[in-house]
Each structure stands twice: as structure tokens, then as C-alpha cells.
């Protein structure tokens, strides 16, 4: 608890979540996700756990619908809305949670770690993002000629990947 109290109080739930994740066996399919609620001066934390992909997909859909800036709180917990404003004197700027994630997806597709729509879909959920974030960057990569796939859509969603079992490969150009 001493270590938890050293963090700003709005992040205490994320620290506790990290400790809970360490207790889950590596071979477990159970995934844990945080959501922080600010009500007045108080901050409350929810830890959602599920082992089924659909449950995780639905939870993340609700949290990102509640807060499209970061999906982990009902307020701008990481102050992302101020990150995409102006760069500093050296031309650098902080990236938002979504921008950082899209960069990870792009890098992992280009280096061959994520090869199919299923890989990208599961990576999105694993990292607490909705498939829409991955879909946007994959479409952008196809439009700019970095990758190609046979379908009109990248098919990054539960229905295509899990229900219909439509798995497509992303070909690096």
C-alpha cells in the first residue's frame, strides 16, 4: 500500500490492477481491465475481468463510448486532450493514447508480428483498445500502399474474426 500511495491518487486503481495481473497465472485466459470514475472530489476504480473475447470486446466498447479520449476513465485521466495541441520549442509533442497505439499496430504489422485480422483484433483487445482504432490505421496503411489485403474492409471485429471465422492476411508491400 505504501507504493500505491506514492502515485497520484487518480492512478491508484491502475497500480492495484498491475498487482492483480501479476497474481494471475500466465496460462490463464482471464484478462483484467480498469475503469476509473470521478465523482466530485472522489475517484473510484472498477476492475473488469473476463476470459471470453466477446465480454472483453463489449466492455471496451462501453468504456470507449463513455470516454473516446482514453477509454479508461469517465474523465481525461492522462490529459490527452492537451497533448495534440502545440509542439514544444524543439518540435516535439506528446502523443495521445490512441496515437501511440496506432503506431504500435503499424510497427507490428510492418515487422511481421501481426499478420492477420485476427492477430490485430486480439492485439487491440489485449491492449485495451477497440477494434476501430486498429481498423483506422490498417485502412490508412493500405491507402498509402504499405500493405494490401483482399477484402474491401480489414475485417477487424468480433463477428468477422470469432463468429464468422473470416481470417485474412495483410501482405506487406
Residues 82-129 pLDDT 10s: 666 666 666 677 788 999 999 999 999 999 999 999 999 999 999 999
Give domain status of residue 101, yes or no. Answer: yes
**All residues at 6 or more sequence positions from 125 whose CB lies less than 8 Å from its CB, including other chains:** 31, 53, 56, 57, 60, 131
Give domain status of residue 91, yes or no. Answer: no
Give domain status of residue 82, yes or no. Answer: no
Give the chain's domain count.
2
**How far is 131 from 158, CA to CA, in rounded Å?**
9
Tell the burial category of 137 from Cβ atoms under 10 Å away from its Cβ (0-12, 13-18, 19+): buried
Give domain status of residue 89, yes or no. Answer: no
**All residues at 6 or more sequence positions from 172 whose CB lies less than 8 Å from its CB, including other chains:** 109, 110, 112, 146, 147
**How far is 42 from 57, CA to CA, in rounded Å?**
28
56 and 6 together in one domain: yes
Query: Which residues span the domain enclosing 109?
Result: 97-172
What is the pTM assigned to this prediction? 0.87
58 and 103 together in one domain: no
* For helices 97-110 and 117-126, angle between their N-to-C axes, nearest 10 degrees: 150
56 and 101 together in one domain: no
The per-residue pLDDT for range 129-155, each reduced to its tens digit, is 999 999 999 999 999 999 999 999 999
Give domain status of residue 88, yes or no. Answer: no
| Phi, psi for residue 86 in degrees, rounded to 5 | -110, 145
120 and 166 together in one domain: yes
Which percentage of the chain shows pLDDT scores above 70?
A: 88
73 and 102 together in one domain: no
Sign for the CA dihedral angle at 134, 137, 143, 144 comes to negative
Residue 99 confidence (pLDDT):
92
Give domain status of residue 84, yes or no. Answer: no
Q: Which residue, 77, 105, 133, sits at the end of a domain?
A: 77
Q: Which residue, 25, 49, 77, sits at the end of a domain?
A: 77
105 and 133 together in one domain: yes
Residue 77 confidence (pLDDT):
73
Amino acid at each position: 500500500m505504501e507504493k500505491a500511495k506514492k502515485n497520484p491518487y487518480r492512478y491508484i486503481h491502475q497500480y492495484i490492477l498491475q498487482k492483480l495481473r501479476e497474481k494471475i497465472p500466465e496460462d490463464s485466459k482471464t484478462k483484467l481491465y480498469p475503469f476509473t470514475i470521478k465523482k466530485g472530489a472522489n475517484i473510484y476504480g472498477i476492475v473488469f475481468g473476463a476470459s471470453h473475447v466477446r465480454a472483453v470486446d463489449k466492455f471496451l466498447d462501453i468504456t470507449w463510448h463513455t470516454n473516446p479520449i482514453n477509454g479508461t476513465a469517465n474523465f481525461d485521466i492522462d490529459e490527452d486532450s492537451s497533448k495534440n495541441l502545440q509542439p514544444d520549442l524543439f518540435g516535439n509533442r506528446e502523443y495521445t493514447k490512441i496515437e501511440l497505439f496506432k503506431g504500435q499496430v503499424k510497427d507490428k504489422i510492418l515487422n511481421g508480428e501481426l499478420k492477420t485480422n485476427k492477430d490485430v483484433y486480439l492485439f487491440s483487445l489485449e491492449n485495451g483498445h477497440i477494434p476501430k482504432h486498429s481498423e483506422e490505421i490498417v485502412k490508412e496503411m493500405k491507402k498509402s500502399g504499405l500493405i494490401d489485403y483482399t477484402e474491401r474492409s480489414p475485417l477487424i471485429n468480433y463477428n468477422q474474426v470469432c463468429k464468422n471465422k473470416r481470417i485474412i492476411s495483410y501482405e506487406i508491400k
